[in-house]
């Protein structure tokens, strides 16, 4: 489905050849003086509002993670914990196999988890962060953020982590989403006001607490967390949509997205 090139909102189905939505067409006509003074303009939802019932990428990624975990559980007969050999067989980020040509391990590791508690914690975090970021950034940017930050997390773990460690889990990508969310609120302080500032402070606190916890317990790949977080900050700054507040024909403030091309 196409987006309006002016505000980023979704165009109706079968809008062949159309590039702007009805709201923007009416607004531009008013600016050209083609509408009467009594013209009214309907209030449009914010550009990041998703239609109810739509299948989100967050749900798809969530489902893939759960399906892979169930597949491993059925294959090994356990959910309490998988051996390093099993994880490597399923595509974990392990130095010898990755260096031997299995480069896809830098991506497949994101869908593997070592235990029930491991996947439960990561999927809970994805359930909290994913929908908000997918709405505010849009599906394409969300997908790029998730996979690129997950990839950068695996590279950081591979380069700086202990030799021979087996890396698995979605936490690197989730830290990337956390970094991108922080940048979003940092760049849109005027749009969200004090509530946005509080959200930004909460994000910084959550990231700091989890990094400290990651450094305090054995078996946690904090290099992947740091790599994902920094990747999310950098990519978030590049990919964050630009929103603005403008008044419609009725004088009502409305939010428009100014970079709907992607």
Q: Catalytic annotation on 225?
A: yes
* Three-state secondary structure string covering 90-117: HCCEEHHHHHCCCCCHHHHHHHCCCCHH
Write out the H or E segment, with its range, that includes residue 185. helix 171-187
Q: Catalytic annotation on 83?
A: no
In whole angstroms, what is the distance from residue 24 CA to residue 236 CA?
Answer: 27
Structure tokens given for 160: 């700086």
Nearest-Å Rg of the Cα atoms of the chain is: 22
Structure tokens given for 58: 């967050």
Write out the H or E segment, with its range, that includes residue 153. helix 139-160
Q: What is the DSSP letter of 241?
A: P
Q: Give CA separation, 209 vs 205, 206, 214, 216, in Å.
A: 6, 5, 9, 11
Residue pair 130/177 in contact by the 8 Å Cβ criterion = yes
In the block, residue with structure tokens 């900050």: 233
User: Catalytic pick from 113, 118, 188, 225?
Assistant: 225
Is the Cα torsion angle 125, 130, 131, 133 positive or negative in sign?
A: positive
User: Catalytic pick from 154, 157, 171, 260?
Assistant: 171
Catalytic residues: 171, 225
């Amino acid at each position: 489905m196409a987006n309006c090139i002016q505000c980023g909102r979704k165009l109706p189905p079968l809008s062949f050849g159309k590039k702007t939505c009805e709201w923007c067409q009416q607004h531009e006509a008013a600016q050209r003086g083609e509408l009467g003074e009594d013209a009214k303009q309907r209030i449009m939802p914010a550009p990041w509002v998703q239609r109810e019932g739509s299948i989100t990428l967050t749900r798809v990624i969530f489902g893939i993670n759960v399906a892979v975990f169930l597949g491993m559980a059925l294959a090994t007969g356990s959910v309490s914990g998988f051996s390093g050999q099993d994880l490597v067989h399923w595509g974990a980020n392990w130095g010898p196999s990755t260096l031997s040509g299995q480069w896809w391990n830098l991506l497949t590791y994101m869908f593997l988890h070592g235990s029930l508690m491991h996947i439960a914690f990561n999927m809970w975090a994805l359930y909290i962060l994913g929908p908000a970021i997918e709405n505010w950034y849009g599906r394409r940017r969300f997908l790029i953020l998730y996979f690129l930050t997950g990839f950068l997390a695996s590279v950081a773990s591979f380069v700086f982590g202990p030799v021979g460690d087996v890396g698995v889990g979605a936490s690197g990508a989730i830290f990337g989403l956390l970094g991108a969310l922080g940048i979003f609120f940092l760049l849109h302080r005027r749009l969200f006001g004090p509530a946005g500032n509080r959200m930004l402070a909460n994000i910084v606190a959550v990231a700091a607490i989890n990094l400290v916890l990651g450094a305090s317990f054995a078996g946690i790949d904090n290099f992947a967390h740091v790599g994902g977080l920094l990747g999310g900050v950098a990519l978030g700054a590049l990919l964050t949509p630009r929103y603005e507040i403008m008044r419609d024909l009725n004088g009502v403030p409305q939010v428009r997205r100014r970079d709907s091309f992607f």
